C-alpha cells in the first residue's frame, strides 16, 4: 500500500487531537475534583453516585430531625425544672400557712404570692418553641392552658413523633395529662384546680383544711419528677441514635467520595505524562510534515 504525505499528516493531526482531548479530560478532573462530569463519562459511577447521594440526603435529614428533637426535649426539661421549683415553693408557703399562729391577713398575703406562682406555672405550661406550644400534644397552635375556654387545661396527649433513623420514631413531647391533670379525673381536678382551691382556703372562702393540700401538692410534684425521668430516658436514647446517625453520615460521605472524587495525585501524574506525550507527538509531527515540491515553486 502506498503511503502518501497526506495520510501521514491526517494521522498526525488525529493523534494530536486525541491527545488534546485526553489532556482536556484530565484538566477537567483536576479542576472539579470529580472523576466524571456527566453520566456518559462512566454510567456505572453515575448510577452508584445517585444511590449514595440519596442515602447521604436521608442521613442529613435525620440529623436535622435530631436537632429538632433536642430543641423540643431540652426546652421541655428546662420548663419542667422551673415548674418543679415553683411547686416546691408553693408547698413551702402551704406549710407556713398551715401554722395555726398565722392570721387571716397573713394567709391572704400567702394566697397572693401563690396566685403569682400559679400565673408563672401557666406561662411555663404555654411554653413555645419556634412558635409551637410544646405541652399541647400534636395541637401545637393552641395554648394548653387557657382559662378563657372550657376545659381550661388541654387533655391532648397525642405524641409528636420524629423519625430519627430508618424506621425509628421517637416522641419528643411530654403528655400534658400526666403533668397538669390527674389521669383519673377531669381537667378541673388537676394541678391548677388544686391551686385554685388552695387559694380559696387561704382567703377563707372554703372551710377546707390547708394542711390537707400538702398531699395533693406532693402528688403533683411526684408527677412532674416522674415525667422528667421518663423524658430523660427518651433523651438518652436520642443521644444513642445521634451517635449512630453521625457514624452513618461519615460512612456515607466516605463511600460517596470513593465513588466520585478523583485521586488528585494520580490525576496530576497522568497530566504530566500526557503533556510529555503531547510534546513528543508535536515534535514527531514537525518531522513528518516535510517541505514538498510546491514549497519550492512559490
Residues 95 and 205 in one domain: yes
Residues 202 and 122 in one domain: yes
Residues 188 and 161 in one domain: yes
Is residue 56, in this structure, part of any structural domain at all? no
Is residue 211, in this structure, part of any structural domain at all? yes
Residues 105 and 212 in one domain: yes
Residues 17 and 144 in one domain: no
Confirm if 190 and 182 have CB atoms less than 8 A apart. yes
Mean pLDDT score of the chain: 83
Is residue 230, in this structure, part of any structural domain at all? yes
Is residue 176, in this structure, part of any structural domain at all? yes
Residues 17 and 154 in one domain: no
pLDDT in tens, 212-243: 888 889 989 998 999 999 999 999 999 999 99
Residues 101 and 43 in one domain: no
Residues 41 and 153 in one domain: no
Residues 176 and 97 in one domain: yes
Residues 98 and 190 in one domain: yes
Q: Which residues, listed in sequence order, are joined to residue 165 by a DSSP beta bridge?
A: 168
Rounded distance, CA 124 to CA 90, Å?
A: 15
Residues 141 and 199 in one domain: yes
pLDDT in tens, 26-68: 777 777 777 777 777 778 887 888 888 889 999 999 999 999 9
Is residue 58, in this structure, part of any structural domain at all? no
What's the CATH code of the domain at 93? 1.20.1330.10
DSSP structure class, residue 204: T
Rounded distance, CA 289 to CA 274, Å?
A: 22
Q: Which of 75, 54, 84, 62 is nearest to 127 (CA)?
A: 75
Rounded distance, CA 213 to CA 221, Å?
A: 12
Task: Determine how many CB atoms are found less than 10 A away from the CB of residue 63.
Answer: 15
pLDDT in tens, 135-174: 988 888 988 888 877 777 888 888 999 999 988 999 999 8
Is residue 62, in this structure, part of any structural domain at all? no
Is residue 199, in this structure, part of any structural domain at all? yes
pLDDT in tens, 264-284: 778 778 777 877 777 777 776
Is residue 57, in this structure, part of any structural domain at all? no
- How many independent structural domains does the chain possess? 2
Q: Which residues 6+ apart lie within 8 Å of 121 measured at CB?
A: 83, 86, 87, 191, 192, 195
- pTM for the model stands at 0.76
Range of the structural domain that residue 18 is part of: 5-51+262-290
Residues 79 and 187 in one domain: yes
Amino acid at each position: 500500500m502506498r503511503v502518501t504525505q497526506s495520510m501521514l499528516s491526517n494521522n498526525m493531526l488525529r493523534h494530536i487531537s486525541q491527545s488534546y482531548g485526553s489532556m482536556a479530560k484530565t484538566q477537567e478532573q483536576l479542576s472539579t475534583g470529580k472523576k466524571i462530569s456527566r453520566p456518559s463519562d462512566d454510567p456505572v459511577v453515575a448510577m452508584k453516585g445517585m444511590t449514595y447521594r440519596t442515602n447521604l440526603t436521608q442521613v442529613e435529614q435525620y440529623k436535622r430531625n435530631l436537632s429538632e428533637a433536642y430543641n423540643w426535649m431540652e426546652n421541655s426539661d428546662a420548663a419542667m425544672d422551673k415548674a418543679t421549683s415553683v411547686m416546691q415553693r408553693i408547698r413551702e408557703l402551704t406549710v407556713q400557712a398551715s401554722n395555726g399562729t398565722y392570721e387571716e391577713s397573713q394567709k391572704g398575703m400567702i394566697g397572693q404570692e401563690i396566685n403569682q406562682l400559679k400565673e408563672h406555672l401557666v406561662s411555663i405550661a404555654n411554653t413555645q418553641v419556634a412558635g409551637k406550644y410544646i405541652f399541647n400534644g400534636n395541637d401545637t397552635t393552641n395554648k394548653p392552658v387557657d382559662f378563657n375556654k372550657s376545659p381550661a387545661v388541654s387533655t391532648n396527649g397525642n405524641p409528636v413523633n420524629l423519625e430519627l433513623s430508618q424506621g425509628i420514631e421517637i416522641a419528643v413531647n411530654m403528655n400534658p395529662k400526666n403533668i397538669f391533670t390527674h389521669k383519673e379525673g377531669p381537667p378541673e381536678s388537676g394541678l391548677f384546680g388544686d391551686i385554685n382551691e388552695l387559694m380559696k382556703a387561704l382567703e377563707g372562702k372554703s372551710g377546707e383544711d390547708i394542711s390537707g393540700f400538702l398531699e395533693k401538692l406532693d402528688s403533683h410534684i411526684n408527677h412532674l419528677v416522674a415525667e422528667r425521668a421518663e423524658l430523660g430516658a427518651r433523651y438518652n436514647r436520642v443521644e444513642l441514635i445521634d451517635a449512630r446517625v453521625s457514624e452513618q453520615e461519615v460512612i456515607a460521605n466516605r463511600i460517596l467520595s470513593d465513588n466520585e472524587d478523583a485521586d488528585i495525585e494520580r490525576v496530576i501524574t497522568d497530566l504530566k505524562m500526557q503533556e510529555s506525550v503531547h510534546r513528543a507527538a508535536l515534535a514527531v509531527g514537525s518531522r513528518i510534515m516535510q517541505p514538498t515540491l510546491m514549497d519550492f515553486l512559490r
